[in-house]
Amino acid sequence: MIAVLVAALLFGTTGTAQALGPDDTTPFSVGVMRLLIGGTALALVTAIAARRRRARRPDAPRPRLTPGAVALMAATAVSLFVYQPLFFLGTSLNGVAVSTVIALGSAPVLAGLLEWALTRKAPGLLWGSATALSTLGVALLGFGGSAGGSADAVGIAAALGAGASFAVIAVAQRRLLDAGWHPLTVVGGMGGGSAAIALVALPFTDVAWLTDPAGAGMALWLGLATIAAAYALFTSGLGGLKAATAATLTLAEPLTASILGVVVLAERLAPLSVLGLVVLGAGLALLAWGSRAPRDPEPFAVEG
């Protein structure tokens, strides 16, 4: 739980870092550079760690690389890539505070629905009540927007799309961990795959803003802190939690983003948005309480 919460705090700096960067950035270009730096770092660090694990335990069993495992790893890489432009588009249209709350506030609900569809196990009345509260909170935030007016509909859709992408990552990674894959292998595959996609997109991306020291600093922070470090922590913590519960713990991200948006960027929330934040928080707190799962004492007995 601590690993996921620390990851969420790092995630929460993303929108503010982008807002403090150069004015000529675009959501797509920032996302591409974030993944090139962070995804490559993740892949390199996890490859080194895997080599050391194999040297220490050469006879340790490893899961088979089945088509299903490949599909799940590909899903995490694609979802991480898609998340970038959707999230940054949302923050550019509706501000850091509102957009981050919508994106990450919707992720636990969507992760729970996806787990329900895959496992065929109904989450129960408590989860349904929490889902209803959370959905109402997101709706209030969307209609309230910032103190300057109502939220942009495209921005809301982009933020919800980012939330759905994060939900896919959480559920796919949880299934890979259940199959015996080591968390660093899982996150390294996601990072390397997303970096490869970003490399293909780079020739079609204007990254002239990297020559600005503020732009280079922003790209390094977004890549190394909010991708490499944050996702390594998130995936490691996910091993002892349900996907929906881990997504719920990332509530620390919109909380961090909201505080930074108000304090650092001087954003102001409309009264309706404040009410939405309270309702959303209540729904997700109820969801976290109802989704608790005992930790497996040996969740990573098989290494990959």
Q: For residue 173, with 0-12 CB atoms within 10 Å meaning exposed, 13-18 middle and 19 or more buried, which class applies? A: buried
Query: pLDDT class for 123, splitting at 50, 70, 90?
Result: low
CA distance 101 to 104: 5
User: Range with the lowest mean pLDDT among 75-84, 123-132, 287-296?
Assistant: 287-296
Question: At how many degrees (to 10) do helices 252-263 and 96-119 cross?
Answer: 170
Write the pLDDT tens digit of every residue in 42-77.
Answer: 999 888 888 888 788 877 777 888 898 999 999 999
* Contacts (Cβ under 8 Å, ≥6 apart) of 253: 8, 9, 11, 12, 100, 104
Helix (H, G, I), strand (E, B) or coil at 61: coil
pLDDT digits (tens, 9 = 90+) for 254-290: 667 777 877 787 777 778 877 877 887 787 677 666 6
On average, the pLDDT of the chain sits at: 81
